A and B are shown apart, each in its own frame.
Chain A
Amino acid sequence: MAFTLYSLIQAAILCVNAVAVLHEERFLSKIGWGVDQSVGGFGDEPGIKVQLMTLVRSVRTVMRVPLIAVNSVCIVLLLLFG
Chain B
Amino acid sequence: MDLPHHGYRATAKPRARAAPPTADSVLFDDTSSGGAPAMNSQAYYTPGYNMAAPTNDMQGGVGVNNLFTDPMANAAMMYGSSLANQGKDMVNKEISRFMSMNKLKYFFAVDTRYVLKKLMILMFPYTHQDWEVRYHRDTPLPPRQDVNAPDLYIPTMAFITYILLAGMALGIQKRFSPEVLGLCASTALVWVIIEVLVMLLSLYLLTVHSDLSTFDLIAYSGYKYVGMIFTMLCGLLFGSDGYYVALAWSSCALMFFIVRSLKMKILTSLSSDSMGTASSAKPHLRLYITVATALFQPIIIYWLTSHLIRRAFHHLHHTVRTTQTEPLSTHMIRVPRVRYGDIFCIISPSLVNPGFYLSTFDKA
Contacts and interface: CB of A to CB of B under 8 A. Distances in A.
Interface in A34-54: 43-46, 48, 51-52
Contacts of A51: 204-207
Interface in B76-104: none
Main secondary structure of the interface of B (DSSP, over half): helix
Interface residues of B, number: 21
A4 B183 contact: yes
B186 interface: yes
Nearest to B183: A2
A3 interface: yes
A8 B205 contact: no
Given A4-B186, A8-B193, A45 B205 contact: no
Contacts of A8: 190, 193-194
Contacts of B272: 43-45
Contacts of A1: 187
Interface string A10-53: 00000000000000000000000000000000011110100110
A44 B271 contact: yes
A73 B213 CA distance: 31
Interface string B272-284: 1110011100100
Nearest to A12: B197
A55 interface: yes
A5 interface: yes
Interface of A: 1-5, 7-8, 43-46, 48, 51-52, 55
Interface of B: 183-184, 186-187, 189-191, 193-194, 204-207, 271-274, 277-279, 282
